Each structure stands twice: as C-alpha cells, then as structure tokens.
Amino acid sequence: MVRPGAGLFALATALATDAPSAVVEESRIPYKNLGRCGATGRWGEALEEKLFFLKTTKTAGSSIRSLFVRFARSERLAVLRSTQPGGVLFPASGASQQWVKQFAPMPLGYARPRSPLAAPYDVAYDHSTLDIAKLKKFLPGARWITSSREVASRVLSAIALFKHEMDPAAYFGSCVRVDARGFCAGPLPKATQKNQNLNRIWNSVSWQLGAPTPAYNFGHRPLGETVDLLARIPTAPLVKLVDGAPTNETFMLVFLVERFEASLVLLRSLLCWRWLDVITEQPPFKQVIQDSKVRHAHQEAMLHKLGARGHRWQPARKTPPPAVAATIAALNPLDAAVHAAAKRAFAKHVAAYGGEDALGRDITFLRRFKHALAFACLGCLAGAPSQLAAFAEVPCGALRPTCVDLHRGVDSNPWSSRPDSRAGAIAMRRRDDAAAEAAISGLVGGCTHFANATICPRDAALCATGELCVTGSDSAVTGPLKFRFEV
C-alpha cells in the first residue's frame, strides 16, 4: 500500500508489486481481465503461448499489427513471416489461399532461447489467410485476432488505395445504366475491368478467411450475374470463424474499426496485457500508418511532376450515389455476414466486461493514459520531463524503451535492427515496462483534475490534443494548455 503523500515513483513501485485488487482500490485504475492470462501474466510471455494476428485489408490492420510487432520485439518472439515483400504468408499474386512454403529464417540471436523440441515460432502478424492446417502446425494453440470494418467504408477505402484514389462512382463508370434490380450495369472503365487486386476490394475479409469467392470478371460478366454467384456461397462457415462460440475454432477477438478504442480495451483485457501494450502509433509520436492525407499529398506531387500544375487531387467521396452504394452492398454479402457476426461477438465481450458503461469508463482511461504517456515520453526524450508538477517524478529511464519504440515507429521489417540480446534483457524490459505502466496508470487513475492540453513535437503537423492531469498551481491555469518539445 502507498502512504498518503507518497511520491509518484513510490506509487509506481507499489503498483508494480501489489495484488491486482490492491491496485484497483488504491488508485482507481480500470482493471479487468476477461481472457485467460499467461503463465506469468501477459499472454505471449511463455514459449507455449502463441499469437496469430490475421491482418486484413483496409481494416486498420497496420495500426493493430504495430502492437504485435512491439510486443514481439520486447519479448524477442520468433516471428513467422514469408520471404515475400511484407512477409505476406499467402502468394502475393492472390492465386491461392494456402500459405507459401518458404518462410524467412529469424536472424541468429534475435529470438529468445528455446528447446529444440519447442515449436519454432511464437507469433504471426502480417497479411495472411486462415490456413488452419499450417496455423496448427507452426503456431499450435495460438490465440487468433483479426479485424473487420463496415463494408461500404472498407470498399471505398480499398478502391481509393488500389485504384489510385479513384472515386467509387468513377469506378462504376458513374453508373450511367442500371439493371432491373438497381445495380450498376456498365459500361465499366478499363481500370475496373482489370483483375489485379479485386480480392482485396470485394469480400476481401471473407477471402482471407477462406471463402471460395468467384472470379470477378467485371469486363466479361454483368455485375448482376456476379451478385447471383456470390449469393450461392454459404456464409455459415465464415460466421462460425468469428462468432466466438467456445465450440468452434474461432477468433478470440475481431476488432471493429468503427469501435477501435473499445477494441483496444478488449484486446488488453483478453490477453491480460498492459495499457502500454495497446498504444498505437499516432500523433504526437508519429503519423498514423497509411494516413490518407499522406497518400493524397503523394498523388498531388505526382500530378505536379507530370505537369498538371494547379490541379488539386480530389479524394473519393465518402457517400457514393444510391445506385453505386446498392451495387457495393450487393457485391459484398460475405463480408457483410462476417461483420454482422463480428458485431454480435463483440457485444458478448462488452457484456462480459460489465456493459457499455464499464467499457466507456476504460476508453476514457485509455485516452488519458495515452495522452499522459505522450507528454511524458516527449518530455523525457527532449530532456524536459517536468513541465507539469504532476509529472515531476516520472521514471524516464523505465519509460525510455517504450518511448523510443513509439517515436521511431515499427519498421515493416521487424528485423531491421537488432534487439537487446544480453542475458536478462527480456526480464529487464519487463521490469522497466511494469514500472512505466504503474507510474502513468497511477498518475491518471489517481488524478482529480484534468485540463485540455495540446502536445506538439518538433513537427507541428503532429500536434495532438487531449486531457492531461494537472495538480497544484498548474490547475489554476485558465484556458487551454499547449506544450512543444524539440523531438
């Protein structure tokens, strides 16, 4: 227990060692673990505790992947990746839903030690398909996680990515003709008729789950015929994969992009992870991975290079015309069924967590934790950690490994830099992270006054605003707070 008036570091030490019930009582920190924990606490720390994140297309997969990359690096997990660009586990051509046969060997000394009899891999987190036979072979007993997104939103984003920011109406030739059912009837632009990447646009989540989708021959088959072919594919096997029923081989959690923060809270709870473990890469640390503004700037630069001076790139409309919207919905019945099942499974997790009120409380905590962590990290990295009295005793040494990871971001190649392979390095990182977690959690959970504060690194485009804990004379400041760090 912590005596009244004890400093933040004393509180951090107590929180890192007290029983969970004492943590909740002492500092009012939201704390609820739903899923079975690992042998030493967090799932994934022990050799037999495997993780499989199936990264799907345009469903915030890169942001979620970054969580698993950071966890894998800190724990020196053996990562299952192919030799293809991006480590993609299925053939890059999309010709098959089976995993490739060639996997990239881990560089010597990167993975934690293991018995020759132990499974060779601990985690997979790149673009993949659900090849259950190989999954059981290489990641036996793994806990599965994936993500899904409301269908129309995902399709519009995928069209923009794979068709050079094409507007959905333009993709369907502005839908100048419709058939008797109200679907676009063509003629379709040549770019739409090309077959590449169509499995990444239409029913892409279902395809990665193993659905036997037809060839999308938009140049030779009326869209209405493709709609009829898709309607004949049974959705029950797909639903079973995501419904969370204990009698099925199913995903432990399916992220809902429209409830991303709630998904992060549930992931932390189901894996018994730390709050530190579910902080994604975003401002003020760095730009959001695959941010659409970055793509638009790239497109404008390309137009300028080609001589189209003065032309501003117009991003795709978020609300397509009715006939286009109807066609998109009709061409994605499998993903619609998967997303509906994922929402039902998500609702069960929410109920088990204590309902929307309990989840909402912890989402608020996560937001405040994330903002406090950003303030502390940028201050520590800039050598100015005490701009607010509440943060005067933040343990910069313990925070540094996480701060550096979040500030630099995770490379697409997790082996681009060598992890700390010294004896005891994993245990030291766990102790640092536990102390950092306890310090920030104790600060946020015990705070009685928050103020809106904008935090800016050197790059002003990465400023972020949120609630920050203020105490003493700091709480008397009127108006919004703003801090800038030379990092």
- Model confidence pLDDT, tens digit, residues 219-276: 788 888 999 999 999 999 999 999 988 777 899 999 999 999 999 999 999 999 999 9
Cα–Cα distance, 332 to 280 (Å, whole number): 29
CA dist 431 → 74, 176, 282 (Å): 12, 63, 25
Residue 388 belongs to what domain range? 1-31+358-487
Confidence of residue 314 (pLDDT cuts 50, 70, 90): low
Domain shared by 304 and 413, yes or no? no
Secondary structure letter of residue 223 according to DSSP:
H
Mean pLDDT, residues 64-91 taken together: 94
Strand partners, 148: 256
Confidence of residue 292 (pLDDT cuts 50, 70, 90): low
- pLDDT of the residue at 67: 96
Cα–Cα distance, 330 to 139 (Å, whole number): 36
- pLDDT of the residue at 286: 85
Domain shared by 362 and 324, yes or no? no
- Tell me which of 328, 347, 378 is where a domain ends: 328
Residue 7 has pLDDT above 70, yes or no: no
CA dist 483 → 76, 246, 364, 387, 477 (Å): 35, 49, 22, 8, 14
Domain shared by 391 and 311, yes or no? no
Residue 191 sits at φ, ψ, to 5 deg, of -65, -30
Cα–Cα distance, 119 to 117 (Å, whole number): 7
Domain shared by 302 and 425, yes or no? no
The secondary element (H helix, E strand) that includes residue 467 is strand 464-469
Q: Are 276 and 270 in contact (CB under 8 A)?
A: no
Confidence of residue 106 (pLDDT cuts 50, 70, 90): confident
Domain shared by 308 and 167, yes or no? yes
- Tell me which of 328, 349, 380 is where a domain ends: 328
Is the backbone of residue 419 left (phi > 0), alpha (psi -120 to 50) or beta? beta
Domain shared by 178 and 317, yes or no? yes
Q: How many helices (H) and strands (E) does the chain have?
A: 17, 7
Domain shared by 309 and 440, yes or no? no
Instruction: Decide if 107 is inside a domain.
Output: no
DSSP letters of 401-463? HHHHHHHH---SSTTSS----STTHHHHHHHHHHHHHHHHHHHHHT-S-EEEEEEE-SSGGG-
Cα–Cα distance, 415 to 221 (Å, whole number): 45
- Tens of pLDDT, residue by residue over 26-77, are 345 556 899 889 999 999 999 999 999 999 999 999 999 999 999 999 999 9
Q: Strands 450-456 and 464-469, how do they pair? A: antiparallel
Cα–Cα distance, 214 to 377 (Å, whole number): 49
Instruction: Decide if 260 is inside a domain.
Output: no
Number of domains in the chain: 2
Residue 312 has pLDDT above 80, yes or no: no
Give me 57's structure tokens. 């297309």
Domain shared by 159 and 305, yes or no? yes
Instruction: Decide if 307 is inside a domain.
Output: yes
Give me 327's structure tokens. 């066609």
Amino acid making up residue 276: L
Amino acid making up residue 80: L
Domain shared by 392 and 314, yes or no? no
Domain shared by 316 and 430, yes or no? no
Global pTM reads 0.89
- Tens of pLDDT, residue by residue over 197-228, are 888 999 999 999 999 999 888 878 888 899 99
Instruction: Decide if 459 is inside a domain.
Output: yes
Instruction: Decide if 181 is inside a domain.
Output: yes
Mean pLDDT, residues 307-331 taken together: 72
Cα–Cα distance, 211 to 235 (Å, whole number): 8
Residue 338 has pLDDT above 70, yes or no: yes
Vertex 290: Cα angle to 285 and 292 (nearest 5): 105
Strand partners, 430: none
- Tens of pLDDT, residue by residue over 138-178, are 999 999 999 999 999 999 999 998 888 888 888 888 888 89
Q: Strands 481-484 and 450-456, how do they pair? A: parallel
Cα–Cα distance, 83 to 362 (Å, whole number): 40
Domain shared by 394 and 432, yes or no? yes
Strand partners, 173: none
Instruction: Decide if 380 is inside a domain.
Output: yes
Q: 10 Å Cβ neighbour count for 311?
A: 11
Instruction: Decide if 74 is inside a domain.
Output: no
Q: Are 206 and 200 in contact (CB under 8 A)?
A: no
Instruction: Decide if 215 is inside a domain.
Output: yes
Domain shared by 395 and 457, yes or no? yes
Cα–Cα distance, 97 to 199 (Å, whole number): 11
